[in-house]
Amino acid sequence: MSCDVTAYLEHPALWFQPRKSGAPRSDTPEGADAPEGREAAPGGAPEGGLTPRDIALVRASLAVVEPYAADLAVYFYSILFTRYPQVREMFPPGMDTQRGRLLRALLHIVDLVDDPEQLARFCAHLGRDHRKFGTENAHYDAVGECLLASLARFAGPAWTADAARAWTLAYTTVAQVMMSAADADSMVRPASWMARIVHREEFVFGIAAITVMPDQPYRYAAGQYVSMETPWWPREWRYYSPANAPREDGTLTFHVRAVPGGWVSNALVRRAAVGDHVKLGPPLGDMVLDHSSGRDILCVAGGTGLAPIRALVEESARHGGGRRMDVFMGARTSDELYGMDDMLRFAQRNHWLRVRAAVSHQDIVGLNGSLPSVLAEFGPWYRHDAYLSGPAPMVTAAADVLRRTGVPPARIRHDPFGVPSLALN
């Protein structure tokens, strides 16, 4: 596993990648074989995957332990650190947040177990991301052993031999996929990058723009997100999206809001200075522009969700602005609409870009209303590709509006909710 077990479990990736019998595993979705044609292993289970009965057993046993989430998490970490004391130094000093994430992560994973293609994609991303922790193959075995032991203790009679087999199959297959992705990634890039802070800018309401220069080339796509560790809180990683498309000078700018009680965010906003160093993990996420699409683009940004949207606007400009782009920015008050002037100036220079604002807690003519309601007012958007970034409730509400007006779910893109939430702890 890795130094951050719950970050590993928190992603919707921890499952299986189906493949044909004898086919090599791939760490990319494009290389994954289709479910059709998989040969059955003894007992009726498709090789490399779970049967519907396996999935039912996993879900049933997890439902049994859900009421005991807190106790299960405490027990899991206790036996992990007791049996494998060497892994304790790989975790952050404070474990309260880690414990709280464990069962939520498992529930999220089980919810997505019926979508092997999406899970395989995230699983490969996750295997690459966990290289930054110094993950070794033995860690996967240790975590799997202790996870299954914890589930067995709290599931009681629901932990049958068949349930144990289903969980073992699921975890083993996922671990193999993650290790394969990590091995392939190690051949082409480092596990992490040191980066020096070269500029910082203060915005309103505890938001700062932090610009860093990595010590090695850092390749990413506009719209992706990046994990960051500061020297003040070792082993505490938080996820932020670059607010720019890749630059010739290699720098990246992150928008960070100082969250009350947030160790990393407050360190970056209140303490970090030019010359300080941070560590970056590999880029993640699929909220990137589809340049093969001829459809116009809709972007919705709430709060510091503006960062990846701004990067997408820059990326669109580099491709000639051949597709019209509508950007909606939301905040509670007009004072909180940071970055609005910058976006309006960009729109003045580019005829294909239109920028609108929505303010939910202030009566301003032409701006009043929640972001989802304003979005509905200017729709429909069924001819567009949609990109959403911001607080989970806003993204969920905006996605509902778009679906109701005919936008296919496959054309609504946003980061997984589990990752942005890491930045709020």
* Residue 180 vs residues 17, 127, 128, 142, 176: alpha-carbon distances, Å: 11, 8, 9, 18, 6
Asked whether the predicted pLDDT for residue 20 surpasses 50, the reply is no
Gyration radius of the chain over CA positions: 22
Mean pLDDT, rounded, for 360-370? 63
- Write out pLDDT tens, residues 170-185: 888 778 888 899 999 9
- Range(s) within the chain of domains with CATH label 2.40.30.10: 193-280
Q: How far apart, in Å, are the Cα atoms of 319 and each of 138, 268, 309, 313, 316?
A: 45, 33, 16, 10, 5
Which pLDDT does position 105 carry in this prediction?
63
Question: For the domain bounded by 296-424, which CATH number is listed?
Answer: 3.40.50.80
At 289-335, the pLDDT tens digits run 999 999 999 999 998 899 999 999 999 999 887 899 999 998 877 77
Q: What is the CATH number of domain 5-186?
A: 1.10.490.10
At residue 367 the predicted structure's pLDDT band, cuts being 50, 70 and 90, is low
According to CATH, the topology of domain 193-280 is Elongation Factor Tu (Ef-tu); domain 3 (2.40.30)
Predicted model pTM: 0.79
Confidence of residue 231 (pLDDT cuts 50, 70, 90): very high
- What stretch(es) of the chain map to CATH 3.40.50.80? 296-424
Start-end of CATH 1.10.490.10 domains in the chain: 5-186
Give burial (CB, 10 Å; 0-12/13-18/19+) of 34: exposed
pLDDT in tens, 234-253: 888 899 999 999 999 999 99
pLDDT digits (tens, 9 = 90+) for 56-102: 998 899 889 989 888 988 899 899 999 999 888 777 776 666 565 56
Pair of tokens at residue 171:
């975890």
